[in-house]
Chains A and B, each alone.
Chain A
Amino acid sequence: MQNETREKLLQVKNLEVTFGSKRKPFVAVKGVSFDIYKGETFGLVGESGSGKTTIGRAIIRINPTSAGEVIFKGEKINGKIPHELDKRVTQQIQMIFQDPMASLNERAKVDYIVSEGLMNVQKHLTKEEREAKVSKALSDVGLLPEFASRFPHEFSGGQRQRIGIARSLIMEPEFIIADEPISALDVSIRAQVLNLLSSLQKERGLTYLFIAHDLSVMRFITDRIAVIHKGVIVELAETEKLFAHPLHPYTRALLSAIPMPDPISEKQKVLEVYDPTCHDYSVDKPQWSEIEEGHFIMANEKELAEYRDRLKN
């Protein structure tokens, strides 16, 4: 497609994140590479413990990386970087967290929660200017400006998540990492938050990295999806392509597990279970290869041949 001409906002190259001590390291993310284009919504999907959140946190510099590069607008932003760049990155990349109950400071008023980031980056702002920005941010996410003087416990889950979104919007970011922003919410509230995120994207040309375990939501909101399993991306494709032709057995297992609101076919459904031992990687090592345009997969030569056959039919 026209991907060649699109601007790459974020590039992740062979990213590796390691936890634990030197003697007993645990590699949570191994050799992960992907690009995120400006203005798109990129989905990262996997089970708990697969490392999807770790990748998000490594991009925003919460988790240090042990190898590889994260490039944001042409500049390397992982590892040691100049103070001035750090400040710029902090402003331009924002994160929305999963649990709106735990991610807001219980003792602070909404006014402070939303404007805390501003105080660090735009120190010259007067009180009035700051208040104006807070009420603008609140009304942008569909909350009343009066809410600024209240405490988080006075709000419902959906409203709290909106406060979390307002807090990241006030920094005027270009790139937002949304880490399971709706999985703690009720179905009816989910729809509201998803709609809010997509309308904000249209208005401001935001780019999202959307992290979730639920493919049914992903299908609705993302342009491209990467499927991650045990710290390795196993498949990456445009959303519709991935749903139409899932190739990797793990992707197929995830897709078959999506619950559908259709009782008759749902009761006949056969669950596909992913068994990592189905790959024989003893001699023929798997590689990250592009099987068709924009569709990447982790597979060895033999599997690639099989997948190509499947694509033809």
Chain B
Amino acid sequence: MEQEVILSVKDLNVKFSLRGQVLHAIRGISLDIYKGESLAIVGESGSGKSVFTKNFIGLLDKNGWVDSGEIWYNGMDLAKFKTEKEWTKIRGKEVAMVMQDPMTSLNPLKTIGWQIEEALKLHQGLTGEAAKQRAIEIIDDVGIPEPERRYKQYPHEFSGGMRQRVVIAIAMACNPKILICDEPTTALDVTIQAQILNLIRELQKKYQLTTIYITHDLGVVANVADRIAVMYAGDIVEIGTCNEVFYAPQHPYTWALLSSLPQLGIKGEDLYSIKGTPPNLFNKVRGDAFAPRNPHALKIDFLHRPPYFEVSPTHKARTWLLDPRSPKVEPPEHIKNIRNIRANMDQKEGGAQ
């Protein structure tokens, strides 16, 4: 299946200067993002997942820079962009972002209507009644009841879930082609989380959006992602379709992330937890960054950085375990039976009755 590439990242390196030291935050990522797909980027805090996507929208912190690499979008290399003027052509119009916390990303002093219209004025030149009509349309679009009344209200009059809908409305105001959702549901309740994920999926279908989800929780992306990229220490260690990553994970780090999900835990036993801490990116990482925490690490993992091994045309992983010369290592037993986990769980409980 040939898919159109909307955004193409080539060997991207991002560095930060912190207290006189240089931190190598993104270590050579290449990634093609297809038009209309939904890609989830999963990793621990500090893995660089937010930093990576901030490059697409020009929101890198002031002490960070693109050291080398290219980001191609629509014939433009975003990595070469320097001025705000260049970025305003992209930001909002082409690529928009939904931030994690709906409590802090809205202006408490302005009405919801005003905040949506602000984006419309800036990017589409709509004013007055036209802007108002469009704003109300958008509020309706993101599933907020009584849009006309809500239009005049302030953020404090909205619940957390409704506020996140408003944030999505603002992001959608300029018909972006790519929507980046940075932990869109972490601050929300489970039931609301499911609703917001549904909403984003609906919008994606309706407007042929390309969505990028950033999250630390593999559990939440199963029903929203087409593809999953697992990030560790500034690098994508495994990428594949949603089914491939969940049903046939290859990288030991993906195994570890899956194993530590409480959904898969067995009561009365310890939940699997990843030992140690992620590497310090101020230092040069040698070999496979995950090796020191990896119980299956081989000698070569500490010496040479593994290349990508292709598992299928859509699935590849950076681990020496896939090299034909490596010993055969099986993934942990309890993540092999992820398929039908809910059904199995019910049965087990039924049997215990």
Which residues in A have some Cβ–Cβ distance to B below 8 Å? Answer: 47-49, 156-157, 186-192, 194-195, 198-199, 213-217, 219-221, 239-241, 243-244, 253-254, 256-267, 269, 271, 273-274
Contact = CB atoms under 8 A, between A and B. Distances in A.
B21 to A, nearest CB: 17
Contacts, number: 137
B263 A216 contact: yes
Q: Which of B160, B189, B264 has the most CB of A within 10 A?
A: B189
Contacts of A257: 190-191, 193-194
A259 B223 contact: yes
A220 to B, nearest CB: 4
B353 to A, nearest CB: 6
B265 interface: yes
Which DSSP category, helix, strand, loop or mixed, fits chain B's interface?
helix
Interface residues of B, number: 52
B341 interface: yes
A260 B243 contact: no
B327 interface: no
B160 A215 contact: no
B243 A263 contact: yes
B261 A261 contact: yes
Contact of B265 (A47, A213, A220, A266): A220
8 contacts: A195-B273, A215-B190, A216-B263, A219-B263, A240-B349, A259-B220, A260-B263, A261-B261
B194 A271 contact: yes
B272 A186 contact: no
A260 B219 contact: yes
Interface stretch (B123-131, B252-260, B294-302): B252-260
8 residue pairs, one from A and one from B, having the closest CB atoms: A191-B273, A266-B223, A244-B349, A191-B260, A266-B222, A191-B271, A220-B265, A257-B194
A176 to B, nearest CB: 19
Contacts of B273: 188-189, 191-192, 195
Interface in B306-353: 338-343, 345-346, 349-350, 352-353
B140 interface: no
Interface in B165-222: 189-195, 198, 216-220, 222
A42 to B, nearest CB: 15
A195 B264 CA distance: 14
Q: Which of A188, A195, A244, A271 has the most CB of B within 10 A?
A: A188
B271 A220 contact: yes
A70 B21 CA distance: 56
Interface string B271-289: 1111001000000000000
A61 to B, nearest CB: 27
B341 A254 contact: no
Interface in B224-251: 225, 242-243, 246-247
Contacts of A215: 190
Contacts of B277: 156
Contacts of A156: 277
Nearest to B275: A192
Given A187-B218, A261-B341, A262-B340, 18 more contacts: A48-B189, A189-B273, A191-B274, A198-B270, A199-B270, A213-B189, A217-B262, A220-B262, A220-B265, A258-B263, A259-B190, A260-B222, A263-B242, A263-B247, A264-B339, A265-B342, A265-B343, A266-B223
Nearest to B345: A243
Given A253-B191, A266-B223, A260 B341 contact: yes
Given A188-B257, A219-B262, A47 B222 contact: no
B268 to A, nearest CB: 8
Contact of B223 (A48, A213, A243, A263): A263
Contacts of A243: 345-346, 349
A257 B247 CA distance: 21
B219 A261 contact: yes
A257 B277 CA distance: 31
Contacts of A261: 218-219, 222, 246, 258, 261, 263-264, 338, 341
Contacts of B192: 47
Nearest to A215: B190
Nearest to B349: A244
Contacts of A263: 222-223, 225, 242-243, 246-247
Contacts of A157: 45
A210 to B, nearest CB: 12
Contact of B272 (A47, A191, A221): A191
A49 B192 CA distance: 13
Contacts of B258: 261
Contact of A259 (B194, B270, B343): B194
A234 to B, nearest CB: 14
Contacts of B257: 187-188
A214 B191 CA distance: 9
Nearest to B347: A244
B228 to A, nearest CB: 9
B267 interface: yes
B44 interface: yes
Given A257-B191, A259-B223, A195 B262 contact: no
Contacts of B159: 49
A263 B262 CA distance: 17
B350 to A, nearest CB: 6
Nearest to B45: A186
A97 B340 CA distance: 35
B261 A187 contact: yes
Contacts of B45: 157, 186
A257 B258 CA distance: 19
B342 A186 contact: no
Nearest to B256: A188
B190 A48 contact: no
B167 to A, nearest CB: 17
Contacts of A216: 219, 261-263
A264 B343 CA distance: 12
A261 B220 CA distance: 7
Contacts of A256: 194
